[in-house]
Chains A and B, each alone.
Chain A
Amino acid sequence: MTGVHQLVPTISPRDAVGNHTLALREVIRELGFDSEIFSMFRHPELMTDTHYVDRLPPDADVVIYQLSIGSPVAERWAQHAGLKIANYHNITPISLVGKWDGLLAAEVQLGRDQMARYAERCDHAICDSDFNKSELDELGYTSTETIPVLFDVTDAIPDPSALAKLERNRRGTQILFVGRIAPNKAHHDLVAAVRTLRELHDDAHLHFVGTDGPPGYRKVVETIVTHAGMRDHVTFHGSVSQEELVAHYLSADVFCCLSDHEGFCVPVIEAMHHGLPVVAYDCTAVGETVGDGGLLLKDKNPLTVACALHRIGSDSGLAQRLRVAGHERAKVFDRTTTRDRFSQYFSSLLRSL
Chain B
Amino acid sequence: MSDSESDANYFKEVVAEIEAEAQRRSSSGEYPRALLRSLDEEFRRWIPDASLENGVEDTIRSIEAAAYVDPAVPTSSKSPLGRCVKWAVRRLTYFYHRHVTQQITALGIHITRPLRLLDASLKSVNRRLSALEDRLDVDAAARSEVLVGISISSSFEEFSEVLGQHFNQVSGRVLIGDLPNAQLLKNLRNEGVDAYGVASSDTPIQETVDVRHEHLFDHLGDLGNESLGGFILCGIPDYGSVNEQLRALRLLLLRSKPGASVAVIVLHPETWRKRLSPVATDLLYGRPMHTETWSYLLSREGASNIRVTESSDSSCCLITASLL
Contact = CB atoms under 8 A, between A and B. Distances in A.
**DSSP majority for the A interface?**
helix
A296 B15 contact: yes
Nearest to B258: A298
24 contacts: A98-B51, A98-B53, A99-B51, A102-B50, A102-B56, A188-B43, A192-B36, A195-B36, A195-B39, A196-B36, A216-B46, A220-B46, A223-B46, A224-B43, A227-B39, A228-B39, A292-B4, A297-B18, A299-B172, A299-B227, A299-B257, A306-B22, A307-B25, A311-B17
A105 B56 CA distance: 10
Interface stretch (B27-35, B77-85, B205-213): B27-35
Interface of A: 94-95, 98-103, 105-106, 109, 188, 191-192, 195-196, 199-200, 215-216, 219-220, 223-224, 227-228, 260, 283, 292, 294-299, 301-304, 306-308, 311, 318, 321-322, 324-325, 328
Interface string B1-38: 00111011011001101110110011000111001101
B25 A294 contact: no
A114 B227 CA distance: 30
A294 B39 CA distance: 28
Contact of B18 (A195, A219, A227, A308): A308
Interface size class of B (residues with CB under 8 A): 35 or more
Nearest to B15: A295
B39 A106 contact: no
A283 B224 CA distance: 11
A98 B26 CA distance: 34
B47 interface: yes
Given A94-B52, A99-B50, A105-B51, A303 B39 contact: no
Contacts of A196: 31-32, 35-36
Given A100-B48, A298-B257, A325-B7, A303 B35 contact: no
A192 B48 CA distance: 20
Contacts of B46: 216, 219-220, 223-224
A302 B30 CA distance: 12
Contacts of B42: 223-224, 227
B226 interface: yes
Nearest to B30: A200
A99 B49 contact: yes
Contacts of B49: 99
A110 to B, nearest CB: 11
B11 A102 contact: no
A98 B52 contact: yes
Given A94-B52, A200-B30, A295-B14, A307 B35 contact: no
Contacts of B58: 102
A284 B233 CA distance: 27
Of residues B15, B22, B36, which shows the largest number of chain A Cβ atoms within 10 Å of its Cβ?
A: B22
A220 B172 contact: no
A188 B53 CA distance: 24
B39 A292 contact: no
Interface in B137-184: 172
Contacts of B226: 298-299
A303 B22 contact: yes
A95 to B, nearest CB: 8
A301 B56 contact: no
B32 A102 contact: no
Of residues B36, B39, B53, which shows the largest number of chain A Cβ atoms within 10 Å of its Cβ?
A: B39
Contact of A301 (B8, B35, B59, B172): B172
**DSSP majority for the B interface?**
helix
Of residues A100, A191, A294, A299, which shows the largest number of chain B Cβ atoms within 10 Å of its Cβ?
A: A299
B243 interface: no
B62 interface: yes
A297 B14 CA distance: 10
A220 B47 contact: yes
Contacts of A99: 47-51
A306 B39 CA distance: 15
A99 B221 CA distance: 13
A125 B205 CA distance: 53
Interface in B226-261: 226-227, 257
Contacts of B31: 196, 303
B21 A102 contact: no
Nearest to A220: B46
Contacts of A103: 56, 59, 63
A201 to B, nearest CB: 10
A223 B21 CA distance: 30
A298 B19 contact: yes
B220 to A, nearest CB: 12
Nearest to B26: A303
Nearest to B173: A301
A324 B62 CA distance: 47
Given A192-B39, A199-B35, A228-B35, A311 B62 contact: no
B18 A307 contact: yes
Of residues A224, A283, A318, A328, which shows the largest number of chain B Cβ atoms within 10 Å of its Cβ?
A: A224
Contacts of A311: 14, 17-18, 21
Nearest to B58: A102
A138 to B, nearest CB: 15
Contacts of A192: 36, 39-40
A260 B226 CA distance: 11
A276 B307 CA distance: 48
A191 to B, nearest CB: 7
Given A224-B46, A296-B11, 7 more contacts: A200-B32, A220-B46, A224-B39, A303-B26, A307-B25, A321-B7, A325-B3
